[in-house]
Structure 1
């Protein structure tokens, strides 16, 4: 989230869910019987090449350990396979950052004005640091700008399991923390409130939280308001590095969060709910 300009208007969120699942089948991450779509059959020839959407949603809920509270809110379980997978990625990231941050001061690498750049980590927001699961269930996996605005204005999303602790730990170890999201600039106050309320105890000013500003795109992005996700995110990371930082790790739930360079190591968080090119 959000997914405005970078999608074809005819491609609904529900269709994107199906497309992402087909992509998963192609890479072998899930199997729904024989005859699934292949690279040669990118346009399915029969219905047998398409996983049933209702069954896919049921599998997603099982993966997240869907728990429904008395007020009808859906929550992911900390005992779910999703939570276990996230914890494994966080453990790998912590091990890497322990070494990278300890070694950074001894590299002698020179940055802006001959000064050694300060180590930094960059993190996406939705489904990297904040979990959209409850929102997705409320809207039936059918994202709209209006429903997202309504949700963010009145709800705080839970943190992705353990990510607030990892971020706070990295900051205490000397990493500057930057959030880089495709959410629109108009959602800044809601986003910052949410991060603060769920335990991200790091600077959350405009210099540390980057949102997409299509009306007034920053000068450091040559593509302006027409940037693809990769151009927007990699261009912003390069801008961060130009300010005297060295991105030692970049976290995202989409490959478009991670591609494009400007970062030593990438960490991909799981997200079977939607796909953003």
Structure 2
């Protein structure tokens, strides 16, 4: 977020098709899926069923205030935990390598996306019917904190405690900095999301290191920002995101894709 996003119905249809077919829509597959036109209603997943499948996957519960929460025992949380276990083992090995000669004098770092990588947007998405708008998103962030994605706060805190610098790169706009800092800190991220470690998209006065300026695609913005971080003397040993556009473009030794069937960001 903010999202030059597919419509909520199109995103849900893609998500359902991915679940049904076991296919990840990315690269050529994504282009083909986006440009295809159904020839029959039978080729289009039923939206009510798609929402029900998403709720079941997240282990939907409703708390006393009517907020939707994902379950720590749900399939989403279990899938995320498996990815995090592999990532933590990799980072532990990497820390050892940097202590020797593997880092070539550079400081190890990880980069995390925010929405649905660090913070879970599940309740917001249900509240707005998977129909993101800047206004509804800002209103939500002004009054509520999003919970940490299961285990990602633990992973980030472990990394920070073991000498790995934590950075965030998000598509959220610069105007949402205060809300983002408050939320990350409130739900347990111990690394400081200050201006040196939290990068938000600034289309009004884009940084000089982004040659594409205010017209950057998500991939250009995120990979260009990672390149900038590495130019400061860091080696990005791990890059975490829920969208392939968070991970494409290089400037990271290894990438970890977190699941997100709720929306697709090119």
TM-score by length of 2: 0.93
Counterpart Cα distance in 2 of 1:239 and 1:184: 18
Alpha-carbon offset, residue 42 of structure 1: 2.4
Which of residues 77, 86, 92 is equivalent to 1:98? 92
The 3-state SS of whatever aligns with 1:203 is coil
Counterpart Cα distance in 1 of 2:23 and 2:164: 36
Q: 1:247 to 1:169 in 2, by over 3 A?
A: same
Deviation string 1:232-262 (CA, Å, 9 cap, x unpaired) is 0000000000001000000000000000000
- Verify: 1:168 aligned to 2:168, yes or no: no
The 3-state SS of whatever aligns with 1:207 is coil
- Verify: 1:183 aligned to 2:172, yes or no: yes
- Verify: 1:159 aligned to 2:153, yes or no: no
Which of residues 184, 187, 192 is equivalent to 1:203? 192
Q: 1:268 to 1:152 in 2, by over 3 A?
A: same
Q: What is the alpha-carbon root mean square deviation over aligned residues?
A: 1.8
Which of residues 85, 89, 103 is equivalent to 2:83? 89
The 3-state SS of whatever aligns with 2:181 is helix
Counterpart Cα distance in 2 of 1:25 and 1:69: 30
- Verify: 1:22 aligned to 2:17, yes or no: yes
Alpha-carbon offset, residue 107 of structure 1: 2.0
Alpha-carbon offset, residue 150 of structure 1: 0.2
TM-score by length of 1: 0.89
Residue segments in structure 2 that go unaligned for 5+ positions in a row: 25-31
Q: 1:67 aligns to what? A: 61
- Verify: 1:227 aligned to 2:216, yes or no: yes
Deviation string 1:31-79 (CA, Å, 9 cap, x unpaired) is xxxxxxx87x922111111111110010000000000012110000000
Counterpart Cα distance in 1 of 2:208 and 2:229: 13
Q: 1:238 aligns to what? A: 227
Q: 1:146 aligns to what? A: 135
Question: Stretches of 4+ moved more than 6 A in 1?
Answer: none
Q: 2:260 aligns to what? A: 271
Alpha-carbon offset, residue 21 of structure 1: 3.3
- Verify: 1:131 aligned to 2:126, yes or no: no
Would you say how many aligned residue pairs link Structure 1 and Structure 2? Answer: 259
Q: 1:135 to 1:108 in 2, by over 3 A?
A: closer
Q: Which has the larger radius of gyration?
A: 1
The 3-state SS of whatever aligns with 1:51 is coil
- Verify: 1:57 aligned to 2:46, yes or no: no
Counterpart Cα distance in 2 of 1:55 and 1:13: 14
Residue segments in structure 1 that go unaligned for 5+ positions in a row: 30-37, 111-115
Q: 1:153 to 1:244 in 2, by over 3 A?
A: same
Q: 1:113 aligns to what? A: none
Counterpart Cα distance in 1 of 2:222 and 2:115: 14
Counterpart Cα distance in 2 of 1:221 and 1:24: 36
Q: 1:25 to 1:229 in 2, by over 3 A?
A: farther
Q: 1:63 to 1:20 in 2, by over 3 A?
A: closer
Counterpart Cα distance in 2 of 1:108 and 1:272: 36
Counterpart Cα distance in 2 of 1:65 and 1:49: 27
